[in-house]
Amino acid sequence: MKKVTLVLLIIFVALAVILNYMPHLNYSYPLHVDEWVHFQYSNHLSSQAQLYFGGESKSLESGFHYLLANLNSLGIPYMFMFNFFPAFITILICFGVFILTRRIWNEEAGVFSVLFTALLQSSVIILGPIFLVPMAIGLFL
């Protein structure tokens, strides 16, 4: 990989992380109602309380709740997860897009695909990598 390509890739990934972390600067709680729902379901799992939808987890998103509950049991607080994990997932998405595009076309196309990924707008209607929701992890996968 050329030095210019590597430097541009690092700059664009850093831009994506900065743009996706900006809403979390002034507000340290989950931003979206879906994040609050996932927070509560995971909190109920980690505290071994009965869940809202019965005693068993039969939701399609239960794996995400188990992941968050297991990370909490390892000592990572929920507020830390909802503040900093979207930035980590953004890094994974950018590198995944770069690798996929580089395999299909070339390195320059991969770098510009990371730029376009960084400039994607996330909103409460179109959930994106700003929020810690299962769809953001699905974008990486």
Query: What is the tens place of the pLDDT at every residue in 40-95?
Result: 888 888 887 666 655 555 677 888 988 999 999 999 999 999 999 999 999 999 99
Q: b/e for 126-135, b at 16 or more Cβ within 10 A?
A: ebbbbbbbbe
The answer to which of 9-13, 67-71, 76-80, 126-130 has the lowest mean pLDDT is: 126-130
Measured from the Cβ of residue 30, the count of other Cβ atoms closer than 10 Å reads: 22
- Kindly state whether residue 36 falls inside one of the protein's structural domains: yes
Percentage of residues in the chain having pLDDT higher than 90: 61
d(CA 41, CA 68): 9
Select the more confidently predicted residue: 33 or 52. Answer: 33
Whether 26 is in a domain gets the answer no
In a domain? residue 39: yes
DSSP 23: G
Q: How far apart are the first and last CA of the chain?
A: 24
69 domain residue, yes or no? yes
Q: What is the pTM of this model?
A: 0.88
* d(C-alpha 63, C-alpha 138), whole Å: 12
What's the rounded Cα separation, in Å, for the pair 115 and 94? Answer: 9
Residue 54 inside a domain? The answer is: no
Number of domains in the chain: 1
C-alpha to C-alpha distance for 41 and 39, rounded to whole angstroms = 6
Which stretch of 28-32, 45-49, 95-99 has the lowest confidence by average pLDDT? 45-49
Rounded Cα distance, 32 and 4, in Å: 38
The residue segments making up the domain with residue 93 are 3-21+31-49+59-140
Note whether residue 79 is domain-resident.
yes
Q: Assign 97 a pLDDT band (cuts: 50, 70, 90).
A: very high
